[in-house]
Chains A and B, each alone.
Chain A
């Protein structure tokens, strides 16, 4: 048995460059063709301590990402705020109003990345400016990148404080009813750029 062990290790070592080469070929692609029907932008708010799921039905994403050169990556999100689903019809009618997203004055929210960096493994971090309701604030979001059937899947989440953006003003600023922290989750599928 002891005689076989070094051989196993040697075999494994011999395979490493092959694996790395294989990885490099697959990673050589630059992704940029976002597949909207497979991408989701969701959020979790808390009402009276209860998590409530919401999502944006319409949003446009443009991105470019090459795992070999993550720092060159960039992303831009544009959200159609009227397409929000905050969890119920009542909530949807409410959140488009002035106290929440004031959709008439601010029909779009945007995120524009300023930098992307590798955190090691399949983990990365994107930093940029998030603009909601006309207020622009810096945010950073960790995300994972993985390849799936020739496409790239970017998945991540980050918290934002709704009151920083004036989301839910007046009577709704009571964070004991609707919590200040909202988790934003993105799951973006993109094909290699042609």
Chain B
């Protein structure tokens, strides 16, 4: 047991991002099936605003992370698990950037500009192009299914560490101090 915890900033950034991602996934997975209505237009806007927020948050988070080292992994962890953990974290960061970006590009190609909270317009990076918009929609969705798989591995690994390996991997990221 290293007994070292993540800093309060790291914990806040982690859980804020977790909330945003779960909300965005839930809304994103259900909103496309809604019948067209004012509510649907609102939900799409909210999804886009939250997506831009998530993108800004991951920028902030990565900038912070580059200047701070996370606590070390438990000493007894096998090499392949260390590699798997690092690889998984890198992929999660990659998707946290790529998913909002593809959403933004998809909106541009579909001809619906993204205006953050209805106030701050983001430039349209692509001209309106229906075929490209449909392609980007599939890419955006595909990346999200990838994210769901990675999140399952992320949560599964954390629970395995907590209940099977009985180390402090999960507890040290919890906002409250866990007892073991």
B140 within 8 A of A: no
A122 within 8 A of B: no
Partner among B36, B37, B38, B113 whose Cβ is within 8 Å of the Cβ of A50? B113
| Chain B interface, number of residues (Cβ within 8 angstroms) | 17
The answer to whether B41 and A178 have CB atoms under 8 Å apart is yes
With the chains together, A91 CA to B38 CA distance in Å?
A: 12
The answer to whether B42 and A50 have CB atoms under 8 Å apart is no
Partner among A48, A53, A87 whose Cβ is within 8 Å of the Cβ of B42? A48
Partner among A48, A51, A53 whose Cβ is within 8 Å of the Cβ of B41? A48
The answer to whether B118 and A87 have CB atoms under 8 Å apart is no
Extra pairs beyond A50-B118, A171-B37 (20, CB < 8 Å): A47-B45, A47-B112, A48-B42, A48-B44, A48-B45, A48-B118, A49-B119, A50-B45, A50-B112, A50-B115, A50-B121, A51-B113, A53-B111, A53-B128, A87-B112, A88-B110, A88-B112, A90-B36, A172-B38, A178-B38
Contact A49 B115, CB 8 Å, known A88-B110, A177-B42 = yes
Enumerate chain A interface residues (CB-CB to B < 8 A): 47-53, 87-88, 90-91, 93-94, 171-172, 174, 177-178
With the chains together, A73 CA to B118 CA distance in Å?
A: 42
Enumerate chain B interface residues (CB-CB to A < 8 A): 36-38, 41-42, 44-45, 110-115, 118-119, 121, 128
| Residues on B with beta carbons closer than 8 Å to the beta carbon of A53 | 111, 128
| Residues on B with beta carbons closer than 8 Å to the beta carbon of A171 | 37-38
Interface CB pairs A-B, < 8 A, 22: A47-B41, A47-B45, A47-B112, A48-B42, A48-B115, A48-B118, A49-B115, A49-B118, A50-B118, A50-B121, A51-B113, A52-B111, A52-B112, A53-B111, A53-B128, A88-B111, A88-B112, A90-B36, A91-B36, A177-B41, A177-B42, A178-B38
